[in-house]
Amino acid sequence: MEYRKEIDGLRAIAVIVVMLFHAGFNFISGGFLGVDIFFVISGYLITSFIFINKANNSFSLLGFYERRARRLLPALFLVLLFCIPFAVMLMQPDDLQNFGQSLVSTTLMSNNILLFITSGYWDLASEFKPLLHTWSLGVEEQYYIFFPLLIMIIWRFSNIQTMYVLLIITIISFLFSLQIHTRYPEADFYLLPSRLWQLGSGGILALLLLESKSYFENIEPNHKEIISMLGFFLILIPIFFFSKSEDFIYLNRFLVVFGTLIIIGFSNPNNFVGKLLSIKIMVFIGLMSYSLYLWHQPLYAFLRISSLSEPTYLMYILMFVLSFFISFFSWKLEKIFRNQNQVSTKKFSIVIISAAIVSILSGLVFNQTYGFYRSYSELESNYSLQIQPNTNNPDTSFLISASKGLSNDYNYSLKNTKKVMVVGDSFSGDFINMMKVNDALNGIDLIKPKYNCFNFNDIDHKAKSVMLKSDFIVVAYRLLDLKSQLSCLEDKIEYLMDQKKKFVIIGTKDFGYNINAPLRQKLYSFRAEPSSKIIDFNVYLKNIVPTENFIDTLSLLGDKNGRVPLFTLENKLISYDRAHLTYNGAKFVGQKLFQHQSLKFLTSKN
């Protein structure tokens, strides 16, 4: 297979923009699209490799899998083993448990599936996940398993016939992704079926170039120059001018994929784009791109985990440079393991299986002990003591327990009580827990219907009619930032006001940048500055309703500088994930909240 320097140059662009994006540099707002470039390149190279070897009658399925394993696994397991001791030293229980789950799922080539399952409400701290980025590796590894099997099934097909099969699969994947990207964004982002069109498009291009090689070679150089320049701009525009508008999010991805295909198809060492991508430093970075991709996120994550506030750009630049230094040696290790003369199949298997066992066992320990939860007195509560070890994580179990015992049929059933409805996202669960632990349910008939503007799959429109039967409605959200979500909330508020219902919006809450460092260092008097994004949403909530219908939680908790405590007066942690409340946190915040005039009836003894 002919080596093309410009493809390594393209890899260099992809990895650099991803690294800068993950470091939080605002000028690269679409840097995460670098992963889309990687998918197209992978589809192109893997398909080219398989069909060139097929033409030579030298393709072996087992040989293919071993080649992929030698390429991907040594550096991956080096990163996993590096992360384990730092995670134990620096992470608080909730993050350590999540890391343990990622260790297992990454080893089993399925971290993309784990992230899909745990995304949404629970996924509040992705920047603190050292293995977050391995979701894309999961997608590629799953593709590497299934794509060669498909080719074996249709082995007797000609290249053109195979291209038609791949075209059908690619179109189905594209339409599927287009259909779900708004309604199920996590599935669209993380899962193979909705990413297959990007890998497949690279595969189609590979077959097209193999079958029409002379046609592409005979295209006028000036035409190739113009077309490849077009492809280059199609990549750069979405990366630097990414639009968060719901109408353009998918267009950004399509432009990057199309631009990558154009560059692979039309750039060469004789035109501007080909020469630019073939510069020695670009090729060198491209050759190290896999190691760079693996190392940058753990370095960034552990920097954040060990910091009390957002690291400075200088610190991120230092980590960026350190990534290159470490990746150079990691790349050298890659090259050793890829050489069968240096590392036999037997030795390779022993090393990889041993590393996998260590990773899986470590991950299981972190998960089953909930990040050594029981060793923290700051987390001990009346609730956690009731939860048996190795049964449930007390904090997540506490939040989930909020809805237990509540009516599911939307009917108020208790007589001579105030009928209270609580609606919203997971923060509505926090409010219910505050009621429970502060004895605010006496004389209250409470229901929590499905009316969640954060997730349109969690809305039952029958809930609107139940509002008319309610004496009081509580609305609680952490954050809504899409236009459709905000419109949903505004419609809800307008309806309540039109019906002259008594209601209150509970202002959002946030416990700063990082829980890990204050908890591990036992900084009980530390006060954190809430996220600017959360503060902005809080102001928005305050402005859409009259003063008497809004309770400013951040003001109730904050000092004169707006900083909020992380621990109660008894040195108990208030929030385990910077957002949701522990049992002790629910008691602490609830005591302040229920002193507000609008909510005094909940704890009144009359």
- Give the pLDDT score at 121: 36
Q: Which of 203, 196, 167 is nearest to 48 (CA)?
A: 203
List of residues 6+ apart from 91 with CB closer than 8 A? 99, 305, 371, 516, 520
Task: Provide the whole-model pTM.
Answer: 0.90
Strand 472-476 to 418-424 pairing: parallel
Model confidence at 550: pLDDT above 50: yes
- Give the pLDDT score at 111: 95
Model confidence at 492: pLDDT above 90: no
Q: Which of 80, 68, 72, 74 is nearest to 348 (CA)?
A: 74
Contact (Cβ atoms closer than 8 angstroms) between residue 119 and residue 186: yes
Tokens found for residue 365: 């320990």
Contact (Cβ atoms closer than 8 angstroms) between residue 220 and residue 249: no
- Give the pLDDT score at 246: 59
What is the rounded distance in angstroms from the CA atom of residue 112 to the CA atom of residue 356? 18
Confidence band, pLDDT 50/70/90 cuts, at residue 555:
very high
Q: Which of 27, 237, 35 is nearest to 134 (CA)?
A: 35
> In a 10 Å sphere around its CB, with 0-12 CB exposed, 13-18 middle and 19+ buried, how is residue 237 labelled?
middle
What DSSP string runs through 564-591?
EESB-TTS-BSBSSSSSB-HHHHHHHHH
What DSSP string runs through 391-406?
T--HHHHHHHGGGTTS
Tokens found for residue 282: 């670009």
What is the rounded distance in angstroms from the CA atom of residue 191 to the CA atom of residue 204? 20
What is the rounded distance in angstroms from the CA atom of residue 326 to the CA atom of residue 329? 6
Question: What is the total residue count of the chain?
Answer: 606
Amino acid, res. 203: G
What is the rounded distance in angstroms from the CA atom of residue 213 to the CA atom of residue 232? 22
User: CATH classification of 385-603, choosing from 3.30.43, 3.40.50, 1.10.3470, 3.40.720?
Assistant: 3.40.50
Q: Where are the alpha helices (DSSP H) in 159-309?
A: 159-180, 185-190, 192-211, 213-217, 221-240, 249-266, 272-277, 280-287, 289-305
Q: Tell me which of 143-157, 436-450, 553-567 is least confident.
A: 436-450
**Arithmetic mean of pLDDT, 50-54:** 93
From first CA to last CA, the distance across the chain in angstroms is 83
- Give the pLDDT score at 182: 79
The share of the chain scoring above pLDDT 90, in percent, equals 72
**Arithmetic mean of pLDDT, 359-381:** 93
Contact (Cβ atoms closer than 8 angstroms) between residue 316 and residue 20: no
Amino acid, res. 221: P
Q: Which helix (H) or strand (E) holds 551?
A: strand 550-551
Q: Tell me which of 73-77, 258-262, 342-346, 384-388 is least confident.
A: 384-388
Tokens found for residue 515: 């829980």
Q: What are the extents of the domains in the chain?
A: 5-368, 385-603
What is the rounded distance in angstroms from the CA atom of residue 211 to the CA atom of residue 209? 6
Model confidence at 73: pLDDT above 90: yes
> In a 10 Å sphere around its CB, with 0-12 CB exposed, 13-18 middle and 19+ buried, how is residue 163 labelled?
buried
Contact (Cβ atoms closer than 8 angstroms) between residue 567 and residue 585: no
Q: Which of 506, 498, 440 is nearest to 473 (CA)?
A: 506
Contact (Cβ atoms closer than 8 angstroms) between residue 264 and residue 40: yes
Q: What is the DSSP letter of 374?
A: G
- Give the pLDDT score at 122: 39
Confidence band, pLDDT 50/70/90 cuts, at residue 400:
confident
Tokens found for residue 330: 């990691």
Cα R_g (the chain), whole angstroms: 27
**Arithmetic mean of pLDDT, 355-384:** 93
| Other Cβ atoms closer than 10 A to 154 | 12
- Give the pLDDT score at 537: 94
> In a 10 Å sphere around its CB, with 0-12 CB exposed, 13-18 middle and 19+ buried, how is residue 391 labelled?
exposed
